[in-house]
Amino acid sequence: MITAPRPALPDLAELEAGAAVVRLPMRVKFRGVTEREALLVRGPAGWGEFSPFLEYDDAEASRWLASGLEAAWEGFPEPVRDRVPVNATVPAVPAGQVPEVLAAFGPVQAVKVKVAERGQALADDIARVAAVRRALPEADLRVDANAGWTVPEAVEALVRLGEFSLEYAEQPVPGINGLAEVRALLEARGTPVRIAADEAVRKAEDPLRVARARAADLIIVKAAPLGGVRRALEIVREAGLPAVVSSALDTSVGLAAGVALAAALPSLPYACGLGTGALLAHDVVSPALVPDGGFLPADRLAERAVPDPELLERYAAPRERRQWWLDRLRRCYAHLAAGH
């Protein structure tokens, strides 16, 4: 288990006084979300984002606060590359909507497609992936099930979807043991689909378990849920597997942390899932951190992640939602202060 020392927390009153809470409309529904809310904080090193999804408890959400505080009070590690390749992300939309979604990302060489959406069938997933393949015949395709399948469902689905030459499948089933079982069964079936661990890494006390169990070929890492860029870098080193950096439907402020993580990794063999700013109809930063030719810039990130005051005002969350986020901030701050 990684136990890097945490820096001292800033003053809570200072955090609350400078916090901005925004509500941003989405272009399409994603994870059931049509509007994305986030609390933004400003510190001596720049801006940070605190935007754990609403269903997360305070213990899990406190890691997102640690990430936002790192960005605003410590800044980011030095990059080893000046730009980061990114994939387009296609939510669980009907196949006919795929070209519209892809158009928002511009030219890309890789696409992640959401599958295993509750209330949908495998036929919907196949149709969606097929539509992406028709639109981008040469692109690298990966699918993300968010642990939505059982082991038998995952094996059946990935055998079928493997016909589209998948680069990898992200978290097809819950848990490390489930991933290992799926990976072994696919190997036995002769289906060459790599397995990527996401939630299994984030929720494990020991990231090395993924490697020891032969549960995955690569890992997905996200700065915010892992507690910040530096902690995520430690996890990648500990796991010893290739890493893909992904976002958590962040604003451009939060995306900057993901880009900083990808830019600081010694090796970056795959395009990253950091182009999700294109899924927001509006952002708080102008210009927004969205892909240009399949890449995001990795230089001057603190400068690129400064919100526009007019946009902060325009997309300010209603008073009751601001209070809800401030209350959550206080609880998660207390969790960090207690050393959890």
Binding-site positions for Mg(2+): 144, 170, 198
The interaxial angle of helices 319-337 and 58-69, nearest 10 deg, is 90
**Distance (Å, rounded) from C-alpha 112 to C-alpha 214?**
23
Among the listed residues 29, 112, 203, 222, the single catalytic one is: 222
Binding residues, as ranges, are: 144, 170, 198
* Residue 114: active-site member: yes
Which H or E run includes 279? Answer: none
Question: Strand order of the sheet with strand 166-170?
Answer: 88-90, 110-114, 140-144, 166-170, 194-197, 218-221, 243-245
Which H or E run includes 35? Answer: strand 33-43
**Distance (Å, rounded) from C-alpha 179 to C-alpha 176?**
5
Among the listed residues 29, 112, 114, 203, the single catalytic one is: 114
**Distance (Å, rounded) from C-alpha 21 to C-alpha 321?**
8
Write the DSSP string, 113-177.
Answer: EE---TT--HHHHHHHHHHHHHH-TTSEEEEE-TT-S-HHHHHHHHHHHGGG-EEEEE--SSSHH
**Distance (Å, rounded) from C-alpha 278 to C-alpha 38?**
16
* Residue 222: active-site member: yes
**Distance (Å, rounded) from C-alpha 74 to C-alpha 276?**
25
Catalytic amino acids? 114, 222
